[in-house]
Structure 1
Amino acid sequence: MSGRDSPDHTNHHATELHLIREIDGRGLSVAHGSSSTAVWLRERLRISIHTAKRSVALAQAVDHRPALDAALVAGTLNVEQATVVAAATQGLPTDLGPELVDKAEAVLIGQATEFEPAILRKAGERILAHVAPELADAADAAALRRLEARAWQGRAFQLTRQGDGRVRVTGWLDEAGAATVDAAIDPLCAPRHDNDEPRTPAQRRADALVEVCDLATRGDHLPDSGGGQRPHVVVTVPFDLLDRQLGAGMLDTGGRLSPPQVRQLACDAHLIPAVLGGDGQVLDLGRGRRLITGPLRRALEVRDRGCAFPGCDRPPRWCHGHHIRAWADGGPTTLDNSVLLCGYHHGVIHRGHWAVRLGAGGLPEFVPPAHVDPGRRPRRNLYHRRT
């Protein structure tokens, strides 16, 4: 047999749908103490509530559509295809005459002999163009407006902390909003020019989202976040522990950062020393110190022209200023002690496997770990160099 149900098997499904409609119409499920026919089916047939609801909906549909019922009984189409046809006819404009609805249903039942459900569903979305082309454009526009309104109303974005160091990102966007997000992160999702790109496509998209937000927080276009302050990330860590590379940081969101992450953020940050009492009360707040900004930042961009890590093509606006010798270790905030790194390669350097230094000509060069190059020969970024 083909993938289509045999007549006996399809008759079994048709009979089951007739019984469900009878049970639903007589209210037998409520008489037996269930809140609905779907709940009753879930308990009796041990199926999911979603499957039960779909069965009830299809049973009601075939009860009102004799031609669809007859096709299902005859084995002309299977249950999944019947569900698609029922949804397509129910989605037609309410002011469409019954003759045209019947015609649309007949066309789709005929196409069920050729198409599996996914293709049949696409045909159902365009069925009005076949049976009433003069109405199709207006109906399609109205349907699109309804979809857009529903998508806009249902837009959502949530960050849920899992308690294991991960934060789950969930949400919904309408098509226009998703297109904007795609346009922003797509240029950042390409694999690095390195031959050993370790990230999966999903990881690259996650990094791209963070990079876009990082760029926004370092610019001048976002509104103040309260108290006249530009948007910022607050990390609290005892300075002596930061100096000894031991201190975990506490974010203002309640999350915790490892010492390498804290030191990475401190490379190009607005540091405000604070004296805290034993209970965490702020006793004295010093003046902030901004690192690698102004003329120094511009000089760094002229020298490095983008992320200086070998093979990276990130432009200066996507980069952080990194202290070659950490500021917390006494490293000066000077051009000779600075290098531009994108967010990804900034993390690579702070994980300690690669080393960075200024080589001949005062240009940054990177020493790879032994597992990348046993000879640990220094490398430079040739992407930004002018010929």
Structure 2
Amino acid sequence: RLVHLAARFDDELEWLRQGVKSASQWIADRLQIRSATAREWIRVGHALRHLPLIDAALAAGEISYAKARILTRWADVDSEAQLLGLARERTADRLSVAIARALADGGETDDERDARLHEARSVTTWTDGDGMTVVRVVVPPSVGKPIVAAIDELVRRIAALPPEGPVDAPTVPDGAPAGAVCEQKVVDEVTESGQNAPAGATGRQSVSAPPPKVSRQMSAPTDSLVDTLHKIGLRWHPSGHDEWTFPSLAQQRADALVVLLLGAGVQVSTEVVFHVRGDGATFDDGTPTTDSAIFRQLDQAFVRLLIHDADRRPVNASSARRLPT
């Protein structure tokens, strides 16, 4: 009911007659909440007017407000019933990926999907109430997944550093180009015949299986990067103070992102896993992508091919790494 009241208040323009710049600002001031929260109430309330199935499910308590927020961003009259079914089967955390997969099967070509995702890219920043700078980055998954992989790799490296003493420099893989930055090892899944499975292929489809653990290798870092990692690592180790706590994963990732963006000579090798099947290509977490988005990354990557049959049994999981041909 709250979101419907917010949307109706937005329509009635009483906030404008009182000299307030927006309905969300009026609501935020009166209820002492963030303007972004009020804007979201108004958006959801407006959207639910055109989505009766989702509106009824929310009113009956069949779905949570968190799920309704996600659904109202993507559902329309044609897809409402399908997406509501996904919401009933999945948690709110997994709903966005499921919706992305469902919409990817909606008849778009690879070029159309790539163009739509590229057009939606954005970076927005704002200052939080405690003075912290908040950065929101929206990029296609073919760009975002390697960035996340690089952040997590730096987290792993920093956590592995001893509090004191020298650090062995990582080795450079045989045949790796000098100075390669953010090298990606792309792992493709293929059908039991050994051929890449194009979208829409017929016959038995291979089923993704978790790849074996791969030892990650990196280009040798500069001394300044080693010093930077050591300084961050020292902050992660116990300081002897009673109030010291180990940083959360979110805090570790924040430190790694700063190193990745601002550190001099950052050279990180990451692994990004793609599953290429006859029914479409996805990242390892199920996020859909396109064949063309994968192809664009091959000239910057070493490729390790994992072959599985239709029963998820490895046929030939060679550890050899090679440049694409």
The TM-score normalised by the length of structure 2 is 0.41
Bigger radius of gyration, 1 or 2? 1
The TM-score normalised by the length of structure 1 is 0.35
